[in-house]
Structure 1
Amino acid sequence: MLFGTKPATNVTNVSPTQVTAVSPSGTGTVGVTVITPGGTSNPVPFFYVGAPFKSGLSASSGATAGGNTITISGTGLSTATGVSFGANTVTPTVLSDSQISAVVPAGAAAGPVGVSVTTAGGTNNGLSYTYIDAPTVTTVTPTSGPTSGGTAVTITGTNLTSTSQVTFDSVPAPFSVIDATTVSAVAPPGTVGAVDVAVTNPAGTATDVGAFTYVTGPGI
């Protein structure tokens, strides 16, 4: 048996109408022919599928609990059968030869893991996905400020490195991440009374109920 001009290995005559064999390496489309004492068969097309190439993830991070759906783009993805996030593998949904989607499995711990895609042509990796724990808020200092806003506030807690938003009574506030346990924010204008302070990262939102109080005058 030949695949193009290359002989196959482990050729086994299963029955008068069936032969099994292991294909040699190759690329593109080749004709498969069977050679017997009676002659050579007509060629039957055989397609070699190349290893997939991945160009990006629609989201590069998410909660350690998993469960979110991401899209993987690239080429040669139409025969994808598995997507691995570190040691955990899930079955993807093929959208096209250039896109597949997958539900992210739970991670063993917070941190980056490699992402690999397996297709009929092989396995390719090179992308990374980062598992993130949801934030917590421990303290908000100071606890009050004027309704005009502008109070510099220090928020302490855990898992704050990837903070994407800070809000006072659902109003977004300017902020900067100091480290994994500290975020600095500036209170936006508000109305008199206690309001919730919330910190959000890709894994979720932590809310400190009534943590900041707007007062008239300069605030204390």
Structure 2
Amino acid sequence: MPPVVNSVDPAQGPVSGGTTVVITGTGFTGATAVRFGSVNAASYSVSSGTQITAVTPAGTAGPVPVTVTTPGGTSNATVTFTYTAVPPTVTGLSPSSGPTTGGTVVTVTGTALTGATQVRFGSVNAASFSVVSSTRITAVSPAGSPGAVPVAVTTPGGTSAAAPASYFFYTGAPLLTAISPSAGPAAGGNTVTLTGQNLLDAVDVRFGALSATLETASPTEITVRAPAGSGLVAVTVTTAGGASNPLTYAYVAAPVLNTVSPSLGAAAGSTVVVLTGTGLTTATAVTVDGVPVGFTVLSDTRITAVVPPGPVGDAAVRVTTAGGTSGAVIFQRVAAPGI
């Protein structure tokens, strides 16, 4: 005689399947199949002639008959299991921002994601998506406009609701408009200010191939500590929105002073001197014993400066450029001859 199914407990479960149910009835010994509708159970075990434990397969929303087949035939189809459609939820995005050009691979985490038929960024379909598990989807962001949009997942159970953790932020590409100073010492370590737009979320600032140390950031200004380098390099900023346009930065060798001519003068008056050396083009200051004095850059190897009156004795003359401060050459102030 065919088996008889009297009840299923529990009598409902999610469309994703995986619900363990206990089927009670008679004539279950030697069962060869347990079906939910037309689909075989994911697994089952015959506990006795009156009880079977089975795991539901995936299904579609609504009731389906539960049947047991034995060598004696197939049971009645009057007892049903109801598949319930659970709407998906989105509980996180990683990363949660990307460029307006799209193309960001985003891991969407949540619940009840199995069977997803659509993933949207705002009102636009994802460029592509793949359901990894019931709690994870990998999606590629489409192009969008700067700002935040909710990411929504649609399954047979419905469409996820917008929540704070479901928002994806489209970031405009950073734009650089100025760099100050535009030159610095080959040893690096100096502070450089970059101005522009969309700079707040900078993840990397590069001087050529080397990353600078980020100190402060705002939407329109970044300060960094320059790395060591040489020659002319392109400075770029990278954010979630992409890489900026380049600005040019020049690494300058430290200045060297070789001579001062004349090397002595009256302590009571001013003396115009010529300083010779190398790396003098970008001179920003000439000091005599630490006091700034007037100067004129004649070439990369020559500067004229005015040594002011001062005490009798040696005075240290130095030049500061974008590359740093030179060593000192000595100017000697002498007393006026006595009468």
Same fold (TM over 0.5): yes
Find the partner of 2:266 among 146, 149, 152. Answer: 146
Counterpart code for 1:180 = D
Matched, 1:82 2:201: no
Alignment of 1:100-179 (within 5 A): 100-107=222-229, 109=230, 111-179=231-299
Quote the offset at 1:158 in angstroms: 0.6
**Match of 1:9?**
127
**Match of 2:219?**
97
**Match of 2:159?**
40
Q: The residue matched to 1:26 in structure 2 has which SS?
A: coil
Contact in 2 for aligned 1:177/1:184 (Cα 8 Å): yes
Q: Which moved more, 1:11-20 or 1:47-56?
A: 47-56
Counterpart code for 2:279 = N
User: What is the alpha-carbon distance in structure 1 between the residues aligned to residue 240 and residue 318 of structure 2?
Assistant: 46
**Match of 2:149?**
30
Counterpart code for 2:258 = T
Instruction: Count residues with an aligned counterpart.
Output: 215
Larger Rg: 2
Quote the offset at 1:58 in angstroms: 4.5
Counterpart code for 1:207 = G
Q: Which has the higher contact order (CA 8 A, sep 6+)?
A: 1
Find the partner of 2:190 among 62, 68, 73. Answer: 68
Q: Percent identity?
A: 47
Counterpart code for 1:70 = V
Q: Structure 1 residues 199 and 14 mapped into 2: Cα distance closer, same or farther (>3 Å)?
A: same
Q: Which moved more, 1:119-128 or 1:176-185?
A: 119-128
User: What is the alpha-carbon distance in structure 2 between the residues aligned to residue 203 and residue 158 of structure 1?
Assistant: 11
Quote the offset at 1:93 in angstroms: 4.1
- Alignment deviations for residues 98-140 of structure 1 (CA, whole Å, 9 cap, x no partner): 3333221110x2x332211000011112433221111111111
Q: Structure 1 residues 4 and 62 mapped into 2: Cα distance closer, same or farther (>3 Å)?
A: same
Give the TM-score of the pair, scaled to structure 1: 0.86
User: What is the alpha-carbon distance in structure 2 between the residues aligned to residue 194 and residue 90 of structure 1?
Assistant: 41
User: What is the alpha-carbon distance in structure 1 between the residues aligned to residue 290 and residue 148 of structure 2?
Assistant: 59
User: What is the alpha-carbon distance in structure 2 between the residues aligned to residue 142 and residue 177 of structure 1?
Assistant: 17
Q: Structure 1 residues 46 and 208 mapped into 2: Cα distance closer, same or farther (>3 Å)?
A: closer
* RMSD (CA atoms): 2.2
Quote the offset at 1:41 in angstroms: 2.9
Counterpart code for 1:129 = Y
Q: Name segments (4+ residues, structure 1) moved above 6 Å.
A: none
Quote the offset at 1:59 in angstroms: 2.9
